[in-house]
């Protein structure tokens, strides 16, 4: 079988491909069926607690429509993810959510929370201020207190949340992340069985639907892919790359990269490989376990604690990637600040890298193609020289 | 055996025909609105000048932003790889390439074999590119080709703080209104470009031996400003605009020999 055809390798990928055409359709259907839904902004929002309240947490991604309504509220130097999120909210495109939950990450997301709360008029709004430093007992105590307040807020709106429900919900999410990890392991083992586009979208889809339903989908996908027999045709092998960035929601870019001859063997996108890196704490009280789980996961550059750069470089090394693509949202300060240091560390390792910056709604695929093709040519040249 | 490289850039299309190691002919034309036709035209012109026909070519490689649109070449290679190879062919000691073209600015670090080690490209911003200089020349009502010589007359380059094409144009118009000499404004523009390029290229390993390619290399004022900023001599090859097409022709020769 020929490798690398997005959305075509098996039935479950076809189902996922169809979902991608209208990412929030699943959430709308759940809403129509009577489920409560909360939109949220980033990895540090405890999906598990929202889910334990009987509510479906749906992560808001950007879209590529030309948008203008944000202009009255946000500065031009805010990232396009914040712009499109606000724009969609102002345009009443989130009519399936009761409200929003914001995690305390970058400056833009902190301010977007207030701007959206004041201007979009949702009935529920919460800010969960995760500590800036994610290690140490002081940070743990702070996180526990914040989670407690958030739990109270959820209970005031949706009714009591039992400890048992929290334990069950955490189990659902740990299981789901385990399966996303398995999918990434399969990609590393048999890169031709799933494209980067399908891999990252398969992980991302969980953000947009009931998580238990997503787990069933992942099981079916893993079963189908494991049973596939794929023998890459000569010249069909793709160069393994590693992606670094916040949210990867540019599927056309990933398709272009695959066509050019590269594939993400692993990544640090918060809706992909980073999400899969779970932390399952030892036995503890449910809320304490949730706090430790949130703090123990792979961190994003908005947070201190641990050694993100060392962990990330180790992850690149272990992945076997021949090159790295920094795929950053333009004006994303946290990722831009760490980029020069990470690029330097990769240079020390002899791993070539490129920077691709995008803005939702203004993606120039041709200039990105040149960068990707030049990276692949550089990798081939280095290989020949060795 | 003959080989050709065709570089279809945003402003000009270029072609080089090689007879093994010898450059037989070159050509250059404005790309205009039809990049495919421009590529075909420059190839035909270079073939005519060389006195050979397309059938005599063992391999043709296209490069530049228009490379994907042409159907008359055997392969397509990015301009980054091609400029590196062309610069290395012309000046084998050089390890850093600054390529300032019509709408792209690039820094390329190259290895002993002329292959790319690292590179950096401008984003959408046109600052430092040929298009930026065209806009500035129009705002100051001078010929693009005269910018270099005019700036060399400057005794006191005007500070131009903005490197955004649109904002810089407003700033230039303000300087004109303030009565600042044209020579000083143009020299200031060149210094602003050099600062921008220096900041961008600092992201890759920079060797003292720097070559400049692309159309902007013909502007001696920009070259002077870059030399001042990089504190080293910037070498400009004889045909800076043709380095991409030359590199493409060299890669065509290499790949032809491999098969």
pLDDT in tens, A190-238: 999 999 999 999 999 999 999 999 999 999 999 999 998 877 776 778 9
pLDDT digits (tens, 9 = 90+) for A268-285: 999 999 999 988 888 889
C-alpha angle A321/B207/B11, rounded to 5°? 80
Question: In terms of residues, how long is chain B?
Answer: 259
The whole-model pTM stands at 0.91
Within chain A, how many helices (H) and strands (E) appear? 15, 8
Check CB contact of B81 with chain A, cutoff 8 Å. Answer: yes
Would the pLDDT of A344 be above 80? yes
Q: Enumerate domains of chain A plus CATH numbers.
A: 23-161 (3.40.50.11890)
Give A274-282 contacts, CB < 8 A, sequence gap 24+.
A274/A43, A274/A298, A274/A300, A275/A43, A275/A177, A275/A180, A275/A203, A276/A177, A276/A180, A276/A181, A276/A183, A276/A184, A276/A203, A277/A177, A277/A181, A278/A173, A278/A174, A278/A177, A278/A178, A278/A181, A280/A174
pLDDT at site A274: 92
In terms of CATH, what superfamily is B93-236? ATPase, nucleotide binding domain (3.30.420.40)
pLDDT at site B161: 75
- Mean pLDDT along residues A104-109: 89
pLDDT at site A59: 95
Residue in B65, B123, B203 nearest the CB of A366: B65
Neighboring chain A residues of B116 at a CB cutoff of 8 Å: 374, 377-378, 381
Cα B75 to Cα A181, A203, A245: the distances in Å are 38, 36, 32
pLDDT digits (tens, 9 = 90+) for B137-166: 888 898 888 999 999 999 999 988 766 777
Neighboring chain B residues of A364 at a CB cutoff of 8 Å: 124
DSSP conformational letter for B128? T
Return the CATH number of B1-91+239-259, one of 3.40.228.10, 3.40.50.2300, 3.40.50.150, 3.30.420.40.
3.30.420.40
Q: How far is CA A29 from the centre of its chain?
A: 22
Would the pLDDT of A1 be above 60? no
Check CB contact of B27 with chain A, cutoff 8 Å. Answer: no
Neighboring chain A residues of B107 at a CB cutoff of 8 Å: none
Report whether B236 contacts B223 (CB < 8 A): yes
pLDDT at site B124: 65
Give dist(CA B89, CA B21) in Å, integer.
9
Report whether B252 contacts B49 (CB < 8 A): no
Would the pLDDT of A158 be above 90? yes
pLDDT at site B162: 67
Cα B18 to Cα A80, A370, B120, B240: the distances in Å are 47, 25, 29, 17
pLDDT at site A258: 96
CATH topology match: B1-91+239-259 vs B93-236 = yes
Give dist(CA A128, CA B88) in Å, integer.
56
pLDDT at site B120: 93
Q: Domain map of chain B by residue range? A: 1-91+239-259, 93-236
Neighboring chain B residues of A384 at a CB cutoff of 8 Å: 115
Please return the burial class of A160, using the count of CB atoms within 10 Å of its CB with bins 0-12, 13-18 and 19+.
Answer: exposed
pLDDT digits (tens, 9 = 90+) for B71-117: 888 899 999 999 999 999 999 999 999 999 888 889 999 998 889 99
* Pairing of β A262-267 and β A124-128: unpaired
Within chain B, how many helices (H) and strands (E) appear? 8, 10
Q: How confident is the model at residue A2 (pLDDT cuts 50, 70, 90)?
A: low
Question: In terms of residues, how long is chain A?
Answer: 386
Contact A378 B117 (CB under 8 A): yes
Residue in B68, B113, B116 nearest the CB of A377: B116
B44-77 per-residue burial string, b: 16 or more CB within 10 A, e: under 16: ebbbeebebeeeebbbbbbbbbbbebbeebeebb
How close B35 gets to chain A, by Cα (Å)?
14
C-alpha angle B76/B81/B84, rounded to 5°? 140
- Among all chains, which residue has been given the structure tokens 């399969």? A186
- Among all chains, which residue has been given the structure tokens 């990707």? A372
Q: Report residues of chain B scoring pLDDT below 70.
A: 124-127, 162-163, 259
Q: How confident is the model at residue A178 (pLDDT cuts 50, 70, 90)?
A: very high
Would the pLDDT of A346 be above 70? yes
Give dist(CA B26, CA B185) in Å, integer.
35
- Mean pLDDT along residues A253-271: 96
Give dist(CA B59, CA B80) in Å, integer.
20
* Pairing of β B2-8 and β B116-121: unpaired
Q: Which residue of B has its CA nearest to A384?
A: B115
Ranges of beta strands (E only) in A90-146 are 99-103, 124-128
Contact B119 A378 (CB under 8 A): yes
Average pLDDT, chain A: 92
The contacts of residue B166 (CB under 8 Å, 6+ apart) are none
Q: How far is CA B19 from the centre of its chain?
A: 24
């Amino acid at each position: 079988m020929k490798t690398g055809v997005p959305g075509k390798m098996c039935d479950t990928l076809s189902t996922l491909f169809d979902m991608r055409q209208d990412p929030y359709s699943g959430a709308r259907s759940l809403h129509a069926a009577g489920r409560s839904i909360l939109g949220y902004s980033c990895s540090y929002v405890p999906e598990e607690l929202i889910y334990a309240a009987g509510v479906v947490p749906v992560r808001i991604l950007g879209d590529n429509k030309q948008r203008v309504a944000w202009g009255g509220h946000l500065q031009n130097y805010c990232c396009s993810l914040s712009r499109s999120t606000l724009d969609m909210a102002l345009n009443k495109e989130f009519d399936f959510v009761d409200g929003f939950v914001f995690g305390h990450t970058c400056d833009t997301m902190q301010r977007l929370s207030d701007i959206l709360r004041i201007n979009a008029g949702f009935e529920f709004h919460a800010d969960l201020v995760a500590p800036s430093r994610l290690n140490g007992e002081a940070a743990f105590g702070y996180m526990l207190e914040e989670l407690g307040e958030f739990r109270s807020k959820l209970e005031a709106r949706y009714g009591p949340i039992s400890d048992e429900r929290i334990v069950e919900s955490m189990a659902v999410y740990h299981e789901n992340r385990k399966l996303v990890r398995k999918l990434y392991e399969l990609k590393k083992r048999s890169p031709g069985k799933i494209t980067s586009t399908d891999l990252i979208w398969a992980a991302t889809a969980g953000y947009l639907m009931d998580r238990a339903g997503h787990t069933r989908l992942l099981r079916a996908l893993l079963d189908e892919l494991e049973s596939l027999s794929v023998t890459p045709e000569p010249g069909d092998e793709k160069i393994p790359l590693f992606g670094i960035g916040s949210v990867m929601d540019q599927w056309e870019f990933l398709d272009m990269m695959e066509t050019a001859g590269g594939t993400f063997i692993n990544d640090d996108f918060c809706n992909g490989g980073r999400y899969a890196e779970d932390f399952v704490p030892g036995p503890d009280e449910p809320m304490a376990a949730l706090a430790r789980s949130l703090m123990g996961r792979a961190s994003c550059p908005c947070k201190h604690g641990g050694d993100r750069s060392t962990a990330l470089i180790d992850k690149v090394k272990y992945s076997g990637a021949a090159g790295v693509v920094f795929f950053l949202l333009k004006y994303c300060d946290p990722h831009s600040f760490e980029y020069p240091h990470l690029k330097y560390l990769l240079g020390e390792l002899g791993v070539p890298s490129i920077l691709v910056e995008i803005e939702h709604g203004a993606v120039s695929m041709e200039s990105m193609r040149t960068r990707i093709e030049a990276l692949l040519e550089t990798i081939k040249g280095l290989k020949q020289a060795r | 055996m003959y080989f050709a490289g065709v570089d279809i850039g945003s402003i000009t299309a270029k072609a080089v025909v090689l007879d093994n190691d010898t450059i037989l002919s070159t050509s250059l034309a404005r790309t205009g609105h039809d990049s495919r036709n421009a590529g075909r035209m420059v190839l035909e012109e270079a073939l005519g000048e060389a006195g050979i026909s397309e059938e005599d070519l063992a391999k043709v490689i296209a490069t530049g932003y228009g490379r994907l649109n042409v159907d008359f070449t055997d392969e397509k290679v990015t301009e980054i790889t091609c400029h590196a190879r062309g610069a290395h062919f012309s000046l084998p000691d050089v390890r850093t390439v600054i390529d300032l073209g019509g709408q792209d600015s690039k820094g390329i670090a190259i290895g002993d074999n002329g292959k790319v080690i690292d590179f950096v490209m401008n984003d959408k911003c046109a600052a430092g590119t040929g298009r930026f200089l065209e806009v500035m020349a129009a705002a100051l009502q001078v010929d693009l080709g005269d910018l270099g010589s005019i700036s060399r007359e400057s005794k006191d380059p005007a500070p131009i703080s903005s490197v955004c094409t649109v904002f810089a144009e407003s700033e230039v118009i303000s300087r004109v209104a303030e009565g600042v000499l044209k020579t000083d404004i143009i020299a200031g523009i060149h210094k602003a470009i050099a600062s921008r390029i220096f900041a961008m290229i600092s992201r890759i390993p920079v060797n003292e031996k720097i070559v400049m390619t692309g159309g902007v290399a013909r502007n001696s004022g920009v070259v002077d400003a870059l030399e001042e900023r990089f504190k080293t001599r910037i070498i400009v090859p004889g045909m800076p605009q043709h380095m991409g097409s030359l590199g493409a022709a060299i890669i065509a020769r290499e790949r032809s020999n491999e098969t």
